[in-house]
């Protein structure tokens, strides 16, 4: 009778450890699991010393093994999928929204010293020159787009007029 009770308490202890891993109980399930494990070992050693050590070995091997299997299997179950957030979506090729401006011509809407506002393809965008100062109304060409920065230079016919 004590042998059966010791085995039942060991199984209950393992089940409570597994539940504690997935249900937040602020340690209440752990305390109940430890009490069940202690009871199991008491009844096991009362039966015989050998049976008590068999239960100790079963607990030392069984509880970590049960947790490992639980963590491997649980995320694949319906309940696990509903509790665990999905990771970020697979990253496809990153598209730079400003890359479409590369090589386009536009008109400076404000004084560029060296940054300002220009209209390129009918859109108002913030631009930066390579260090030149450009008056409003001059034509510009986009030579680089990196991050959120659009680098421009004066259009060829504008450079000749200023030199």
CA distance 155 to 3: 93
Please give the chain's pLDDT, 163 residues, in tens: 889 999 999 999 999 988 888 787 888 999 999 999 999 999 999 999 999 999 999 999 999 998 888 888 888 888 788 888 877 777 777 777 788 899 999 999 999 999 999 999 999 999 999 988 999 999 999 999 888 899 999 988 766 554 4
> What is the pTM for the complete model shown?
0.50
Preceding omega of 132 cis (within 30 degrees of 0): no
What number of residues does the chain have? 163
CB within 8 Å of 67: residues ≥ 6 apart: 17, 18, 21
Q: Could you say which DSSP state residue 122 is in?
A: T
CA distance 163 to 148: 30
CA distance 163 to 145: 26
pLDDT tens readout for residues 103-128: 999 999 999 999 999 999 999 999 99
pLDDT tens readout for residues 74-85: 888 887 888 888
Query: Looking at beta carbons, which pairs linking 22-31 to residues 24 or more positions away fall under 8 Å?
Result: 22/70, 22/74, 22/83
């Amino acid at each position: 009778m004590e042998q059966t009770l010791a085995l039942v308490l060991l199984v209950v202890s393992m089940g409570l450890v597994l539940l504690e891993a997935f249900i937040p109980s602020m340690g209440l399930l752990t305390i109940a699991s430890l009490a069940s494990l202690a009871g199991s070992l008491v009844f096991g050693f009362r039966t015989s010393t050998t049976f008590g050590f068999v239960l100790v070995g079963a607990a030392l091997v069984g509880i970590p093994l049960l947790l490992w299997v639980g963590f491997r299997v649980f995320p694949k179950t319906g309940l696990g999928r509903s509790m665990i957030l999905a990771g970020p979506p697979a990253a496809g090729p990153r598209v730079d929204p400003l890359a479409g401006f590369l090589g386009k011509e536009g008109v400076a809407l404000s004084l560029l010293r060296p940054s300002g506002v220009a209209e390129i393809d009918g859109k108002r965008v913030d631009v930066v020159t390579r260090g030149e100062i450009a008056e409003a109304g001059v034509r510009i060409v986009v030579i680089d787009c990196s991050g959120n920065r659009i680098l421009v230079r004066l259009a060829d016919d504008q450079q000749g007029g200023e030199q």
